[in-house]
């Protein structure tokens, strides 16, 4: 927490705005719109997963439809496809950004069309804060009339060619879950490009109540709006967002330095100046063929022995029991390789110099560097 969150929450109590609407919700949305830039209309929601669910609905996805989806992601990206009875078509990543591979995407799309099942939408993810190949992915989507749901849950503050992630897709998704770069304890948002899309999102998120003095409903709605208490935390957090990004990026630089002279370990970094990652999590790849046999699991266990938490990269969806039966495209199997070799390292905005010393000591001991 930054410090001012409590002031906004106290104000909500003092004015009795304890509800899923109120001045903090409106204020947080305005803050996010200003931060994202472009012409955006933001709807604050109960979670990032809820935002993806509502985005898919607005993209016209329903039972039996197919949705192209980056396989290398967290289940919050892909589960809403299943909520709708639609079919996820899982697509491999490429090694530069670890995100959706434009070639595998094209291969997947063409094959689905050949089978008479033209996909309706594309769900692409800026994983760990690293922007995906925005130009290539969006050019393909545009040429093929695919609505893009841009999962920016981990990438608030990241940019591609100086434009904020979350503003490229037809629908941009943000998350403020407890583990994200800023948090409202739990929460999310949809970044829209028209007021109509935002209004429609809020309508669906508040039980789809028709305009009438009584409760009148002609379609299924959801209870997905953000609470005014949570939004108060969010307004306070907006004041420390850029500071958090600075600290997370400093952690990435720290890891670049300590692994600089370790053969076989590479830190995930931006490939060129088009990319700016918030480095929500810093992650490495450990190649046992170059480390003399040491694996990412050896390093994870060495950290664990010293009570330091690290975690393998996201297990691709096509390798998950829940998703095994769905089609997967990608001959290179890049994301399988990432899962096998990758480790997320301590990256929190609150790590101290003493914490960094402990982390470094484990690395030095493990790699004898």
Ligand X SMILES: *Cc1c(COP(=O)(O)O)cnc(C)c1O
Active site amino acids = 180
- Closest contact distance (angstroms) between CB of 290 and ligand X is 29
Which span sits near ligand X by CB under 6 A: 1-9, 74-82, 202-210, 250-258? Answer: 74-82
Contact between residue 358 and residue 346 where contact means Cβ atoms under 8 Å apart? no
Q: Which of 56, 59, 101, 125 binds ligand X (CB under 6 A)?
A: 125
Task: For residues 136 and 274, give the distance between their C-alpha atoms in angstroms, rounded to a whole number.
Answer: 13
Does 93 bind ligand X (CB under 6 A)? Our answer is no
Burial state string for 223-233 with b = 16 or more CB within 10 A and e = fewer than 16: ebbbbbbbbbb
| Cβ nearer to ligand X, comparing 31 with 151 | 151
Which span sits near ligand X by CB under 6 A: 9-17, 46-54, 220-228, 300-308? Answer: 46-54
Does 77 bind ligand X (CB under 6 A)? Our answer is yes
Question: Which H helix or E strand runs over 140?
Answer: helix 134-143
Does 202 bind ligand X (CB under 6 A)? Our answer is no
Q: Which of 22, 169, 188, 330 binds ligand X (CB under 6 A)?
A: 188
Q: Which of 8, 17, 28, 74 binds ligand X (CB under 6 A)?
A: 74
Q: If you search the block for the tokens 């994200």, which residue do you land on?
A: 180
Task: For residues 340 and 204, give the distance between their C-alpha atoms in angstroms, rounded to a whole number.
Answer: 40
Sign (positive or negative) of CA dihedral 131, 65, 141, 41: negative
| Cβ nearer to ligand X, comparing 44 with 299 | 44
Does 97 bind ligand X (CB under 6 A)? Our answer is no
Task: For residues 285 and 128, give the distance between their C-alpha atoms in angstroms, rounded to a whole number.
Answer: 14
Question: In 3D, which of 22, 26, 16, 19 has the Cα closest to residue 189?
Answer: 26
Residue 295 vs residues 201, 245, 298, 300, 335: alpha-carbon distances, Å: 45, 29, 5, 9, 17
Does 58 bind ligand X (CB under 6 A)? Our answer is no
| Cβ nearer to ligand X, comparing 73 with 201 | 73
- Closest contact distance (angstroms) between CB of 164 and ligand X is 16
Q: Which of 87, 93, 175, 282 binds ligand X (CB under 6 A)?
A: 175
| Cβ nearer to ligand X, comparing 43 with 125 | 125
The residue ranges of DSSP E strands in the chain, in sequence order, are: 41-45, 66-70, 87-91, 121-125, 147-151, 159-160, 163-164, 171-175, 188-192, 265-267, 275-276, 282-286, 311-312, 328-329, 342-345
- Closest contact distance (angstroms) between CB of 210 and ligand X is 28
Task: For residues 226 and 186, give the distance between their C-alpha atoms in angstroms, rounded to a whole number.
Answer: 9
Binding residue count for ligand X, defined by CB under 6 A: 14
- Closest contact distance (angstroms) between CB of 63 and ligand X is 22
| Cβ nearer to ligand X, comparing 93 with 291 | 93
CB-based closest residue to ligand X: 48
Please provide the DSSP assignment of 171-219 as one string.
Answer: EEEEE--TTSSS--SS-EEEEESSHHHHHHHHHHHBTT--SSSS---SS
Does 172 bind ligand X (CB under 6 A)? Our answer is no
| Cβ nearer to ligand X, comparing 24 with 77 | 77
Which span sits near ligand X by CB under 6 A: 97-105, 151-159, 264-272, 323-331? Answer: 151-159
Q: If you search the block for the tokens 């004041």, which residue do you land on?
A: 239
- Residue 163: strand, helix, or coil: strand
Residues 6+ apart with CB under 8 A from 301: none
Which span sits near ligand X by CB under 6 A: 73-81, 213-221, 245-253, 315-323? Answer: 73-81
Which residues here bind ligand X, judged by CB under 6 A? Answer: 47-49, 73-74, 76-77, 125, 151, 153-154, 175, 177, 188
């Amino acid at each position: 927490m930054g410090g001012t969150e409590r002031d906004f929450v106290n104000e909500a109590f003092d004015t009795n705005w304890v509800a899923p609407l109120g001045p903090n919700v409106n204020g947080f949305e305005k803050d996010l719109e200003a931060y994202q830039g472009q012409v955006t209309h933001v709807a604050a929601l109960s979670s990032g997963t809820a935002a993806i669910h509502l985005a898919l609905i607005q993209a016209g996805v329903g039972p039996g439809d197919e949705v192209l989806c980056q396989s290398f992601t967290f289940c919050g990206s892909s589960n809403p496809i299943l909520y709708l009875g639609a079919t996820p078509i899982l697509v491999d990543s490429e090694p530069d950004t670890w995100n959706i591979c434009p070639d595998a995407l094209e291969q997947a799309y063409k094959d689905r069309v050949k089978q008479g099942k033209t996909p309706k939408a594309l769900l692409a993810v800026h994983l760990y804060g690293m922007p995906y190949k925005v130009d290539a992915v969006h050019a393909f989507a545009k040429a093929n009339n695919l609505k893009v749901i841009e999962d920016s849950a981990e990438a608030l503050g990241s940019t591609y060619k100086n434009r904020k992630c979350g503003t490229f897709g037809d629908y941009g998704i943000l998350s403020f879950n407890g583990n994200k770069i800023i948090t409202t304890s739990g929460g999310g948002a949809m970044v829209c490009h028209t007021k109509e899309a935002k209004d429609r999102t809020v309508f669906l998120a508040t039980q789809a109540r028709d305009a009438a003095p009584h409760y009148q409903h002609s379609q299924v709605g959801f209870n997905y709006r953000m609470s005014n208490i949570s939004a108060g935390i969010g307004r306070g957090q907006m004041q420390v967002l850029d500071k958090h990004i600075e600290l997370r990026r400093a952690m990435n630089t720290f890891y670049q330095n300590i692994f600089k002279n370790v053969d076989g370990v590479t830190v995930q970094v931006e490939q060129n100046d088009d990319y700016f990652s918030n480095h929500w999590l810093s992650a490495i790849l450990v190649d046992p063929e170059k480390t003399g046999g040491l694996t990412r699991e050896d390093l994870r266990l060495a950290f664990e022995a010293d009570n330091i938490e690290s975690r393998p990269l996201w297990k691709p969806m096509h390798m998950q029991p829940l998703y095994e039966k769905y089609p997967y495209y990608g001959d290179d199997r890049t994301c399988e390789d990432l899962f096998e070799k990758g480790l997320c390292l301590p990256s929190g905005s609150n790590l101290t110099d003493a914490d960094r010393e402990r982390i470094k000591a484990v690395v030095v001991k493990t790699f004898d560097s």
